[in-house]
Structure 1
Amino acid sequence: MIRFYLIDDHPAIRKGIQSMIQNIPEFSLVGEASSAEEAIADFSFKKIDILISDLVLPGQNGLVAFEKLKVIQPHAKVVFLTMMKDWDFVKKAYLSGAYGYIPKDSDTEYIETSIREIISGKKIFPEEILSILPIGSEWEEIRSKLQDLSKREREILELIAKGNLNREIAEKLGISIRTVEGHRSNLIEKLSLNSAQSLVRLAAKLFG
């Protein structure tokens, strides 16, 4: 039995996905929520195999729920069912370890087929994203390492990608320059890089 959890603030969308899940014998809906905050409160009490979530939610976004679920139930796969076409945001979802992005206006057959492929381990993203994403075994290894970074390390990596210097990063995050330097050193080590320049190049490729 594949256990699903659904997050969407539109009751009609939740009802449609719920109906699809309930019509498939090997699928089971174990919970649903209208916000990330509501869902996160459930994550410690319900076993989840697949989280289906919108990216845009009232309050915290779907990526926040995703990050929390990864900590509590690391085996769970996450697919975003959304109308958002902010490719930088969708790219961030991919690099965080999401398994799929499915447009909300997709027909039920496509959604079911995509979910079955995701269950089998395949990642489902539109061509517009795949054309700009780092793909291949080398990048998959880096993407895996990215998931081991702390929230602060990811923030600093994204700021590096935007061309910020240590002083600017320190001012924006309210931390000391020495702390930023320490995080940079940790990033170089965790991402198996050999220099500060290689860190800047990688950050630009990932988040530039």
Structure 2
Amino acid sequence: MTCRVLLADDHAVIRAGVRAMIQDIDDFTIVGEAEDGKETVEMARELEPDIILLDISMKKVSGLEALQALNRHSPECKVLILSMHTGPEVVLEALQKGAHGYLLKDAAAFELRLALEAVRRGDRYLSSAIVQPVIEQAVSKVNSNAEHTLTQRQLEILRLITRGESTRSIANGLGLSVKTVEAHRAQIMKRLQIHDVPGLVLYAVREGIISPDD
């Protein structure tokens, strides 16, 4: 089934370039283009796209403001940020506000395809150039006094989650049912009081469960 994409950027040249790249990717099609955050939210309601490629710096309503509105009004839409901003603070804010991925505007066509396919599967995607700075920034903000205990199985699943593995992939790899993995995931988040994947990555790095290079 073709994945329907809404492209939101206030620069016509950028939209034209991204449109051309997506036209060469099988099973993805652009169903609409928005020039600002307000229009993005309105078009998302009308068109119900599967993925929204969203710029951060747009007129009237910014991409981050639009992201919050999209979470409320179009929660079924997955948002992939497409931005020139490389600052880890901006990236973390976007992820914390519900973005499923963050792709830099200078990404090559093959990376755009990888990002779209990952988000379509329900996985997270970060441009390789920003992964290390984002982890380092996030680790610096973590409360080092927090102490939590996970079982060996939960630690194993946590490692796989932080590496971007999907629930089904984890289940297949460990010989478990999807429901069992989902139950472990819920228990991990409840025990750690962490409710998103970026937060789990921060915890895993701080506790030495994974290294920033993983």
TM-score bucket of the superposed structures, by smaller chain: 0.5 to 0.7
2:80 counterpart SS class: strand
Cα separation, 2, equivalents of 1:10 and 1:106: 17
Cα separation, 2, equivalents of 1:94 and 1:106: 19
Cα separation, 2, equivalents of 1:40 and 1:26: 24
Match of 1:64 in 2: 65
Give the alignment's TM-score, normalised by structure 2.
Answer: 0.61
Q: Per-residue deviation at 1:93?
A: 0.8
Q: Per-residue deviation at 1:141?
A: 6.2
**Residue pairs, 1:1-208, within 5 angstroms:** 1-125=2-126, 126-127=130-131, 128-133=133-138, 137-138=188-189, 142-144=194-196
2:117 counterpart SS class: helix
Cα separation, 1, equivalents of 2:76 and 2:193: 18
- Residue pair 2:71, 2:98 contacting (<8 A) in 1 also: no
Instruction: Please list every run of 5 or more consecutive structure 2 residues that lacks an aligned counterpart in the other structure.
Output: 140-160, 163-187, 197-214
Q: Per-residue deviation at 1:27?
A: 1.1
RMSD, aligned α-carbons: 2.2
Give the alignment's TM-score, normalised by structure 1.
Answer: 0.62
Cα separation, 2, equivalents of 1:141 and 1:33: 37
Q: Per-residue deviation at 1:67?
A: 1.5
Q: Per-residue deviation at 1:43?
A: 2.3
Instruction: Please list every run of 5 or more consecutive structure 1 residues that lacks an aligned counterpart in the other structure.
Output: 145-208
Read off the aligned partner of 1:86 and give its amino acid letter: G
